Amino acid sequence: MRELPHALVRLGEDSGLTNDVRMDKWLWAARFFKTRALAARACELGRITSNGQPAKSARPVRVGDRLQVKNEGGDFQVEVLLLSDVRGPAAVAQTLFRETEASRALRLQLAEGRKAMPRFEPLTAGKPSKRNRRVLNRLRGRA
């Protein structure tokens, strides 16, 4: 069995460590959000549910909880495997949870759909630059 960092708690009552961590701390440690404040804000906005219930940022997370996390990366449905209140390397953060297969498949499908969509450049305000004007003239056949 590999050694876990000191901030992680294994499943089991004999560990002697706490069995729960604040929701915002765990989401930050699991790298769903860049800052703890963003994690707390997502909880306030109702983007985090725990076992089907809206989760507040101070709500304790326990091993075995099922979380639904909505962030800019997509919608994640995960099961909590380990607890941590310290943000560590990404490799350690990935061991804290297990994403459901349905969630992973849906996220990959949405990503493929985004890749297939055409990209448009935003319109610039004001008149075109000299370079952009030359490109427009070439496209219009006025070389």
71 compared with 9, residue with greater pLDDT: 71
Q: Which domains, and CATH codes, for the chain?
A: 1-102 (3.10.290.10)
Taking the C-alpha atoms of residue 109 and residue 50, their distance in angstroms, rounded to an integer, is 24
Whole-structure pTM over 0.85, yes or no? Answer: no
Q: Give the mean model confidence (pLDDT) for residues 99-120.
A: 88
Report the percentage of the chain scoring pLDDT > 90: 63
pLDDT, one tens digit per residue, over 22-68 is: 999 999 999 999 999 999 999 999 999 999 999 999 999 999 999 99
Question: Token match 């326990």: residue?
Answer: 62
Taking the C-alpha atoms of residue 43 and residue 26, their distance in angstroms, rounded to an integer, is 12
Any idea how long the chain is? Answer: 143
